Structure 1
Amino acid sequence: MLNDPRSHGLWEKTAPAAPVTRALDEKVSADVVIVGGGFTGISAALHLAEAGRRAVVLEGAEIGFGGAGRNVGLINAGMWVMPDDLPGELGDVHGERLLDMLGNAPRLVMELIERHGIACELERNGTLHCAVGEAGLKEITERAGQWQRRGAPVTLLDAVETAKRIGTAAYAGSLLDMRAGTLQPLAYVRGLAKAASAAGATFHTASRATSYTRSGSQWTVRTDGGSVTAPWVIVSTDAYSTGPWESVRREQVHLPYFNLATRPLSPQLLSSILPGREGVWDTKEILSSFRMDQGGRLVFGSVGALRNTGRAIHVAWAKRALKRLFPALGPVEFECEWFGEIGMTDNALPRFHRFAENVVGFSGYNGRGIAPGTVFGRTLAQLVLGDIGEADLPLPQTDPKTPAFRPVKELYYEAGAQIAHLAGERL
């Protein structure tokens, strides 16, 4: 996007076209103005439009420009935090409510895809959280037990079954989560936008919000070319926030993450590497993830930014890592490469903010945006519609707070990933 092949890589190459939009160049009114064209904002627009409300979406760049169009494409249930730890972090009411909502969130994603006929390479065969060594096995065993006690369809697999499903003996075991799956994220968010547009929502791209003011019960959100006036504002800009809601970006520490896609693999390799098309990530602190796309390309990613010295280091590391995991691949060449930023909060949990009366938003997805973003978008629509109140939300209201030494931490993550990958996989 924006003439940068490393912003969305394979996803832009293979996604259906986005709906036709234009920049805002006039003054308009609506029931709700939504700032941000990712999973949360577009899900909110879809659910509001289906309820008969006039929803106008302002996107500063293009639909899916932020994390929505760059991520790995894993439809995960839950967050990074262990299930039993959420009540301690959020209190019993919000903790259990969030667990229930996010545990069921992949189902909403898949239902929307089916209902609206979204062509986004949906795979329903689950995900595999893979254990690296004994420490990793202990972690996923505990996680499996906590989810199973809540009735979730998760299964702990031994090393033999894991190797059969993935095609490598590198892992001590894995946690199979059948609630989860994979999709083509840019295709999904564009498909959501087409569905929302068909339901009556309006989209304006290249329309970055620059300010907002209130007059009576109405808010006016301005861009360089026009404005939208509405009684409600939904802020869904998350880690890519700028302008009036830059505090959302400042609240998060950015973690760079890259993905590389091979050329389509041969039928023989496809029969032995991820034959079930599960999405995979491991338990390393600097984790790796991989999955197959519908065209038979292996998409492999990890922490790091493909810029400056980082590009050569991360690409070389990925080739070594894939050679160790899947020797039958032979010499690996990558067809596409791209990266983006994951916004990390201090407790790895999302946030609900009320910036002013009737100005609300969720943020802080910590690399788990597809399912949470979709379900939180619906939740915001329900709040605006009056179907629920703030007391019914899955998160308590908090004010954005900038963590100490945020810029230093971001430099540390980017440089640390380069150091780790420069030395990694050389044995």
Structure 2
Amino acid sequence: MTSEPNLWRASARESFSEPPFDADRTVDLAVIGGGFTGCAAALEAAREGASVCLVEAQTIGHGGSGRNVGLVNAGLWLPPDTVRAQMGEAEGNRLLATLSEAPSRVFALIDREGIDCEATRNGTLHLAHSPKGLADLTERHRQGRAMGAPLQLLDDEETARRIGSTAFHGALFDPRAGTIQPLSYARGLARAAAGAGAVLHEQSPVQSVTRERDLWHVTSGRHILKARRLLIATNAYHLGLGPAFRPDFVPVHYCQYATAPLPPALLDSILPGGEGCWDTALVMSSIRRDRAGRVIIGGIGNGTGPGARVHAAWARRKLAALYPALRDIPLTHGWTGRIAMTGDHIPKIVAFGPDAYAAFGYSGRGIGPGTVFGTEAARALLSGSDTTLPLVPIRQHRETAPAVQAAYYETGATLTHAIAAR
């Protein structure tokens, strides 16, 4: 492995750096968290003419945004009918309609702000790992087409042609979607926000959040950020903040491994169309390329935890099973991110106090929903109206035994990876 295990940090074309929070300040909107949600919110607020200050405990994109697979998908993991069944017809359709446009909004932002993030809008492939997986994709195709989504159900031969492997029984192709270099995208959003007038501070962990009179007081180090409105956008990398708010979610890890750039002779038949892919397995895996010609394989599991060797060994076997020509190709990068999973797999916006939201729980789909939720949360907070939000804010959200659920996911992934692709 290289000295920088996270490929996205090693290959990012966008750079961003700002000093820690070092002086008291009063603004219209304070944002805590420098990922997709927080940076999109800061950018939107600044473009609307509001004063905005974002504080990030580490660096921009340090958390899940800089460890993402980089698939810009429409909708949620759940099929549309399941979303409507859980949320109700009106609310479900509201969320689905908003997120169906999420890739268009992401790629439009990239174009508008000139973000150098390897944006490739060639669609994504949801791969059927078994006959049962193909039946699931067939039903998802039916439901999506009923909503007007331009989905295409591919047979096994067309799937093999598109990915360069005969390992799958078919695929669901979504031409609305695509891939990006996720850390470059997060940094590009931050750069654009700063250019629009937002103030951003890295290496500025928040010790407490309190409400005093009509202002929120955000304490970082020896200084206080006072704000009329507040957005917490820490998602799966929440560090505390005191009693004001703590997002409740199930932490799930996802690890990825990348080859060095491959020569054309090896690369020409591997995802020649440039789609990003993930499969229908319960312990999900993903496969994609980057612009330099690396192949990136990922799967559920903590690549830095007790099962690290198991997950890394699985990645090598999985890559060889999909593409035998890559059997002896070393993996030069390996990194892990943490996902905020909710029990119903639906994101949350919690209105935990006056003029204050927390947005989290994208359950592995951070790019599109994070961008949309951050943008719309900023608009709603500044306007005082929540009518444009993707879903109705709730007062609180609680998960049942999140630590137990997290252990279940990791144990299942480790056991599966110990025996899979042998």
Residue in 2 that maps onto 1:107: 104
Q: Whole-Å Cα distance in 2 between the matches of residues 184 and 256 of structure 1?
A: 19
**1:98 aligns to 2:98 (yes or no):** no
Q: Which residue of 2 aligns with 1:37?
A: 34
2:352 maps to 355
Q: Which amino acid aligns with 1:16?
A: R
- What per-residue deviation string (whole Å, max 9, x for no partner) do you get for residues 182-238 of structure 1? 000000000111011100011111111211222332211111231111100011111
More divergent stretch after superposition (203-212 vs 395-404): 395-404
Partner Cα separation in structure 2 for residue 312 and residue 114 of structure 1: 40
TM-score (norm. length: structure 2): 0.96
Look up the match of 1:23: 20
What is the deviation of 1:79? 0.5
Which residue of the partner structure matches residue 291 of structure 2? 294
Task: Name the residue aligned to 1:172.
Answer: 169
Q: How has the CA–CA distance of structure 1 residues 246 and 184 changed in structure 2, closer, same or farther, with 3 Å as cutoff?
A: farther
Q: Tell me what 1:316 maps to.
A: 313
2:402 pairs with one of 406, 409, 423: 406
2:331 to 331, 334, 349: 334
1:243-262 equivalence runs, <5 A = 243-244=240-241, 251-262=248-259
Cα deviation, residue 141, structure 1: 0.7
- Aligned partner of 2:119 among 103, 122, 125: 122
Shift of 1:310: 1.6
Is residue 2:219 matched to residue 1:218? no
Tell me, yes or no, if the aligned pair for 1:34 and 1:41 is still in contact at 8 Å: yes
> Helix, strand or coil: the match of 1:381?
helix
Cα pair 1:383 1:390 within 8 Å, conserved: yes
Please tell me the residue identity of whatever aligns with 1:115. R
SS of the equivalent of 1:32 reads strand
247 and 175 in structure 1: CA distance in 2 versus 1, 3 angstrom threshold:
farther
Secondary structure at the residue paired with 1:72? coil
Q: Distance in 1 between matches of 2:53 and 2:234?
A: 15
Are 2:183 and 1:191 equivalent residues in the alignment?
A: no
What secondary structure is seen at the aligned counterpart in 2 of 1:138?
helix
- Deviations along 1:56-89, one digit per CA (max 9) or x if unpaired, are 0010111001110001000011111111222221
Superposition CA RMSD, Å: 1.8
- Do the aligned partners of 1:383 and 1:389 also contact (CA within 8 Å) in 2? yes
Once residues 247 and 211 of structure 2 are traced to their aligned partners in structure 1, the CA distance between those partners, rounded to angstroms, is 24
1:73 matched to which residue of 2? 70
SS at match of 2:241: helix
Q: Judge conservation of contact 1:5–1:338 (CA < 8 Å) in 2.
A: no
Aligned partner of 1:278 among 275, 280, 287: 275
State whether structure 2 residue 414 is matched by structure 1 residue 418: yes
Q: From 54, 58, 82, give the equivalent of 1:57.
A: 54
Q: Name the CA distance, whole Å, in 1 between partners of 2:242 and 2:128.
A: 39
Following superposition, the deviation at residue 274 of structure 1 comes to 0.3
Shift of 1:246: 8.0
Q: Matches of 1:39 and 1:348 in 2, distance apart?
A: 19
Contact 2:229–2:382, Cα closer than 8 Å, also in 1: no
Q: Does the 8 A contact of 1:167 with 1:326 survive in 2?
A: yes
SS of 1:390's equivalent in the other structure is coil
Structure 2 partner of 1:209: 206
The corresponding residue for 1:9 is 6
Report 1:154-169 matches (<5 A).
154-169=151-166
User: In the alignment, is the contact (CA less than 8 A) between 1:8 and 1:69 conserved in 2?
Assistant: no
* Alignment partner of 1:147 out of 144, 149, 153: 144
Structure 1 runs of 4+ aligned residues shifted over 3 Å read: 4-8, 245-250, 399-402
Cα distance in structure 2, aligned partners of 1:247 and 1:305: 30
1:181/1:53 CA distance change after superposition, 3 Å: same
Structure 2 CA distance for aligned equivalents of residues 319 and 56 of structure 1: 43
What is the identity, as a one-letter code, of the residue corresponding to 1:342?
Answer: I
Q: How many residues align?
A: 422
Offset, 1:250: 5.4
The code of the aligned residue for 1:299 comes to I
- Among 397, 400, 404, the alignment partner of 2:393 is 397
Aligned mates of 2:36, 2:86 — CA distance in 1: 25
Match of 2:81 among 81, 84, 91: 84
**Are 1:314 and 1:418, in contact at CA under 8 Å, matched by a contact in 2?**
yes
Question: After the TM superposition, which of the residue ranges 153-162 and 400-409 deviates more from structure 2?
Answer: 400-409
Question: What does the per-residue CA deviation read over 1:354-385, in whole Å, with 9 as the maximum and x for residues that have no partner?
Answer: 11000112110000000100011110121023
For the residue of structure 2 that corresponds to 1:148, the secondary structure is helix
Query: Residues 310-341 of structure 1, C-alpha deviation per residue, up to 9 Å, x if partnerless?
Result: 22111111111111111122313111100011
Structure 1 residues 382, 5: CA separation in 2 closer, same or farther (over 3 Å shift)? Answer: farther
- Counterpart AA for 1:305: N
Cα separation, partners in 2 of 1:95 and 1:101, compared to 1, 3 Å: same
Q: Deviations over 1:128-156 (max 9, x none)?
A: 00011210001011111111111111100
Paired residue type of 2:251: H
2-structure distance, mates of 1:255, 1:150: 30
Q: Which amino acid aligns with 1:405?
A: A
**Counterpart-to-counterpart distance in 2, 1:302 and 1:256:** 9
Distance 2:326 2:243 in 1: 44
Q: Which amino acid aligns with 2:312?
A: V
> Aligned partners of 1:125, 1:111: CA distance in 2, in Å?
15
Contact 1:260–1:336 under 8 Å retained in 2: yes
Q: Taking structure 1 as the reference length, what is the TM-score of the superposition?
A: 0.95
Letter of the structure 2 residue corresponding to residue 28 of structure 1: R
Q: For 2:158 and 2:152, how far apart are their aligned partners in 1?
A: 11
CA distance in 2 between partners of 1:302 and 1:392 (Å): 35
Name the amino acid aligned to 1:261. A
In structure 1, how many angstroms separate the alpha carbons of the residues matched to 2:52 and 2:273?
39
Unaligned runs of 5+ in 1: none
Post-superposition shift, 1:308?
4.5
